Amino acid sequence: MSSSAPQPHGRLEHFPVSFFATVMGTSALAIAWKKAHAVAGLPAVVGDVLQWWGLALFIVVLAIYLTKMTLHPGAVRHELGHPIRLNFFPTISISLLLLAALFVEANPAFATWVWSLGAALHLGFTVYVMSGWIHHTHYEIKHANPAWFIPVVGNVVVPVAGVSLAPVEISWFFFSIGIVFWGVLQTIVLYRLFFHEPLPARLTPTLFILIAPPAVAFIAYVKLTGGVDAFARILYYAGLFLTLLLASNALRFFRTPFFLSAWAYSFPLAAITIATFVMREKLGGPFFEALSLLLLTVLSLVLAALTVRTFIGVRRGEICQPE
């Protein structure tokens, strides 16, 4: 037997918590298709299939990671202490929040239970991560990257389903955390990008995370207020500009080798797609009609490519290897 062949034991030990980003991307794609059905009359079956695929994927990834926690607790502690990987633990709670948004109409009781768990868990992650930032002994400016948005700014995901499932003040509480610290972290991350060395190739796809905060905040704000006002427009068009900015650099991303971090393309693209369907629903007009369908097409193609490439990577043993 070749000594270079990947060993199951080692691959489980190196199974990354960032694998939950696949659940986030898939669930957000399902939400986008459900919104497209409601607003544009596209087939409902696509969103329904993706909804169950997202739930199944979450169960599988969670089972694998719980097994890793049982058999390799040291590896989990290493991720919790890592200045970059730590920020991907909240992908677990965000996955729960997105699943709650998917099932809020079909099964409100299940959605309430999942949302409550996700919201509580995300609050815990936010406190834990921010405490680490405040009392750190090892963070440097080079560690700052768009993934830092996930634990703190991810709070704006809570109201997406929370408005329908819990007292509205709870959603305002989480929204306030996310929107205030978005500005703080945006300044830090852009300073790092503008004045320090470029992101390593493995983290290059995380630049797309810049799109997510304003896009998701727009969706949450419209849920909270019921309409598109001046502030909502600022959030939406900020997200749209960042999408255009990153799209103009598409060749750079195409040249980047595949890493699991490529799933960072998925959720932000889904967020701006859903936000555009909301604008189409609230304001109408040919611009939003055309743009929403274009973004949904791009999003669907990106998710299909990511899914296929991830399966190939798993089969070849390229994923779950020590870095």
What does 181-199 look like in DSSP terms, one character per residue?
HHHHHHHHHHHHHHHSPPP
Report CA-CA distances (Å) from 155 to 106, 121, 220, 241, 301: 24, 11, 10, 22, 28
pLDDT at 307: 95
Q: 147-206, pLDDT tens digit by residue?
A: 999 999 899 999 999 999 999 999 999 999 999 999 999 999 999 999 988 888 888 999
Q: What is the pLDDT of residue 315?
A: 87
Q: What pLDDT is attached to residue 187?
A: 94
User: Looking at domain 8-316, does it have CATH number 1.10.10.10?
Assistant: no
- Degrees to nearest 5, angle at CA 67 with 66 and 73: 80
User: Which residues, including other chains, have CB under 8 Å from residue 281's CB and lie 6 or more apart?
Assistant: 35, 38, 39
38-53, pLDDT tens digit by residue? Answer: 999 999 999 999 999 9
Measured over the CA atoms of residue 184, residue 208, residue 80 and residue 216, the dihedral's sign is positive
Say what the pTM is: 0.93
Position 7 scores a pLDDT of 43
Q: Which residues of the chain have pLDDT under 70?
A: 1-9, 323
The pLDDT score that the predictor gives to residue 311 is: 92
Q: What's the longest Cα–Cα distance across the chain?
A: 65
Phi, psi of 183, rounded to the nearest 5 degrees? -60, -40
